[in-house]
Amino acid sequence: MSARRNLRTLLFYIIVLAAIPAAVSFAQSIPIPFVDVRVKEAQSPREVSLGLQILFLLTILSLAPSIVIMVTSFLRVSIVLSFLQRALSLQETPPRAIIMGLSLFLTFFIMQPTLNEMNKRALEPYLAGKIGVNDFFGQVEQPLRKFMLTTLNSKGGMSNLDLFIYLSKKGSLKDPASIPTSVIIPAFVINELTVAFKMGIFLFIPFIVIDLIVAAALMAMGMIMLPPVMISLPLKLILFIAVDGWKLISYQLVQSYK
């Protein structure tokens, strides 16, 4: 047995040694990129400015998920869809990733006019070299401010904006251009949370009625050991499918920004 094991080991090493030249030649035929990142001391004000711009851009990229959540319709859409999932008593169906993906694509659909305006006013002139970095961020900010102020005005969120103007002592409702973006964003977020919770309450009402009816019927029949959710869940799904729930929810979410 020992001699046979030594023979197998010897054959294994022979095969490995024979395969090494072929592997090296295969690796040499594949172009391998070389990445070189150099950090050196700035020699001129222009290099200092360029380095600061790169650091600022990296900071913006790291904060991009939070920015997308806070200053777009993603906040309201994701909360409403989460309320819908809880109202239907569905814990893992559809999966959370699908809910977030649907929220993201609905957000892109709702924000399409704003994104087009940002592309026209900021991205295209910047890529064409007509504006600098400072003007680029200023032009990106304006469509977002317009979207947030329009949403606050159409959904009764001016009271939230007035609150933050009062707390910051900056700007005036009579002159929206004088209101800092740092004041508009928290007012917009509070308004989105309020509207999303209101929509969630309206979503819960029909399904709560079904739960109450099923619980009362089981109690009357003396079937207290049977969980009401086992009976109410299929009824909720039948109702949701019968009214074409996904289409209605999507329609109402989009229309809530018109």
Domain spans, the chain? 65-198+245-255
CA dihedral 65, 71, 75, 76 (to 10 degrees): -160
152 touches 176 (CB < 8 A): no
Q: Dihedrals φ, ψ of 130, to 5°?
A: -85, -25
Alpha-carbon Rg for the chain, nearest whole angstrom, is 29
CA dihedral 41, 45, 47, 50 (to 10 degrees): 130
- pLDDT for the residue 145: 86
Grade residue 131 by pLDDT with cuts at 50, 70 and 90.
Answer: confident
CA distance 192 to 226: 39
Instruction: Give the closest residue to 73 by CA, choosing from 147, 139, 145.
Output: 147
Grade residue 40 by pLDDT with cuts at 50, 70 and 90.
Answer: low
pTM more than 0.85: no
3-state secondary structure of 33: coil
Residue whose pair of structure tokens reads 């150099």 in the numeric block: 38
- pLDDT for the residue 152: 85
- pLDDT for the residue 62: 75
Mean pLDDT of 144-169: 82
Phi-psi region of 131 (alpha: psi -120 to 50; beta: other; left: phi over 0): beta
Instruction: Give the closest residue to 250 by CA, choosing from 107, 133, 147, 137.
Output: 107
Grade residue 17 by pLDDT with cuts at 50, 70 and 90.
Answer: very low
Kindly state the DSSP code that residue 49 receives in the 8-state scheme. Answer: H
CA distance 62 to 54: 12
192 touches 155 (CB < 8 A): no
- pLDDT for the residue 53: 67
In the predicted structure, residue 96 carries a pLDDT above the cut 50: yes
Highest mean pLDDT among 49-53, 136-140, 202-206, 227-231: 202-206
In the predicted structure, residue 255 carries a pLDDT above the cut 60: yes
Grade residue 27 by pLDDT with cuts at 50, 70 and 90.
Answer: very low
9-24 in b/e form (b: 16+ CB < 10 A) is eeeeeeeeeeeeeeee
Grade residue 80 by pLDDT with cuts at 50, 70 and 90.
Answer: very high
CA distance 26 to 103: 46
In the predicted structure, residue 60 carries a pLDDT above the cut 50: yes
Residue whose pair of structure tokens reads 């650091």 in the numeric block: 55
Q: Dihedrals φ, ψ of 137, to 5°?
A: -65, -30
Give the model confidence (pLDDT) of 175-209 as tens digits: 878 888 888 888 899 999 999 999 989 988 888 88
In the predicted structure, residue 9 carries a pLDDT above the cut 50: yes
Six-digit token string for 83: 């309320």
Six-digit token string for 22: 């072929």
